[in-house]
Amino acid sequence: MRGPHNLWRLIRTGATMERTGAMTQAMDALDAPRAFRILARTVVWPFRWLGYKGDPNLPPLTRAITALGPAYIKFGQILSTRPDVVGADLAKQLQVLQDRMPPFPRDAAIKTVEAELQAPISELFSEFSEPVAAASIAQVHKAVRADTGQAVAVKVLRPGIEKAFRTDIDAFYFLASLIENLSPASRRLRPTDVIAHFEGVVHGELDLRLESASASEYAANTAGDEGFNVPAIDWALSSKRVMTLEWVEGIAASDIDEIIAAGHDVTVLGPRVLQMFLTHALRDGFFHADMHHGNLKIAPNGDIIALDFGIMGMLDEYTRRVYAEILYGFIKQDYKRVAEVHFEAGYVPADRDMDEFARALRAVGDPIFGMDATRISMARLLSYLFEVTERFGMQTRTELILLQRTMVVVEGVSRSLDPHINIWEVSKPVVEEYIKANIGPKALARDLWHTARVLSRFGPRLPQLAEALLIAQSKESVAPVAQSNRWQVLWLIVGGIVSAGIGAAVMLVLG
């Protein structure tokens, strides 16, 4: 139900922020204008008593977010990786949201495990610990398999989490519709589509069978990546609300002091996190889309261990090539090419001025090119990027939302490990390698060869299809429009055969 009753949820959100003291803290962190502060307080203050009290032992903003529910917690997790946007103190407070949420009782977890796996806990595990990590949607227990003695991690969904998320998502939809109706200029950002995309991602997190499949695919893709590991899934002890995987030891990526004390080189780990993300996004088109500190560990041998595969991103080949060319253009400071790619992909309306757009992009890229992270304000950069997209009428690309959000999160993790990281220099080798392999003559030959393979499946039927089209064309009763359509299909078949031949020939020449 996405009706006006959700207005109550939004009022309670503001009231909770005010009651817990989070409103002032958030305004200070975001450096909100005085007029906006006054307006917000004036609207919210009369409803203060309706807000959730939350846990008084937590800092104000963390207290408000945890009281409001899982969708708000997800948003807080993203902010926790952006100390340059919300401030170091606030970012540190929000890190609690990543893997140190209040757990639910062990007995409730055991009930879920027994119901899902249809066996007494004693038959499944010889040991089943208290929660070792608790996040917004699920928590993890360390256990030992009764039959093999192998140490495993057992992830269990929170009781009632599906209903709680449904409530939050409905309120978000209502807010998105209000924004679109009250502010026509916001429609280019497609708020409702953004929420729909987020809803789809969250539903994937609420079915641990899908997460298990994602983890298995991710492990297969990254098996050869040096310095990066994914725990193996135990399919026999996994279901919709329970997931079991091998237990791995390591230091949480947020414990920087402990990582350094263990002898790990953070100037190596920081770039590796960013490069691994780019490699998986570009090379595989399948990447970890929730790569915050709480989902990463540093193994004793220095490997990066990825955890929690509920949110994974996918990019088709075309989108990956567009994304790589845009990144490569920024790295090379070739803003004209970056602008061309935006227009070619349809990201910017064709009636806008390409040269003017290229100059606007230069104003974004040049000031930060060559700077280390300590001198870059991502808050100002993102603010200016938003102005550019609004000025040139760019619509929100739902297929890139997850990629863009994750890029921000991953860059924040990398910066926390190595504050002086240069994101352009770190990205350059990964993007260049992808460009060489996927854009150029070899890529064209591979595309044509793929076309040949697809058409080969219809090989035995091509003569009959062509003959049928010619017979239909010869009949006087065929309408001109239908004739035109049939000739288009015929030329498509002929063109496909020619393309297949060219592809095969080029592949032979290139070896």
Catalytic residue positions, numbered: 290
DSSP 233: B
Q: Which of 326, 305, 316 is nearest to 281 (CA)?
A: 316
Compute the radius of gyration of the chain from its Cα atoms.
26
How far is it, in rounded angstroms, from Cα 104 to Cα 17? 24
Q: What is the CB neighbour count within 10 angstroms for residue 1?
A: 10
DSSP 229: E
C-beta of residue 91 within 8 angstroms of C-beta of residue 48? no
Helix (H, G, I), strand (E, B) or coil at 149: coil
C-beta of residue 473 within 8 angstroms of C-beta of residue 487? yes
Q: Which of 309, 312, 153, 157 is nearest to 245 (CA)?
A: 153
Sequence-distant contacts of 31-38: CB under 8 A, at least 24 apart: none
Largest Cα–Cα distance of the chain, in whole Å?
A: 85
Helix or strand (DSSP H, E) at 16:
helix 6-19
How far is it, in rounded angstroms, from Cα 155 to Cα 420? 36
Query: Which strands sit side by side in the sheet containing 125-134, from one edge to the other?
Result: 125-134, 138-145, 151-157, 242-246
Helices (H), 392-460: 398-417, 423-438, 441-456
In this structure, what token pair is assigned to residue 173? 């939809």
How far is it, in rounded angstroms, from Cα 256 to Cα 275? 19
C-beta of residue 282 within 8 angstroms of C-beta of residue 403? no
Q: How long is the chain? A: 511
Cα dihedral sign for 379, 384, 390, 395? negative
C-beta of residue 262 within 8 angstroms of C-beta of residue 213? no
Angle between helices 335-344 and 354-365 (to 10 degrees): 130
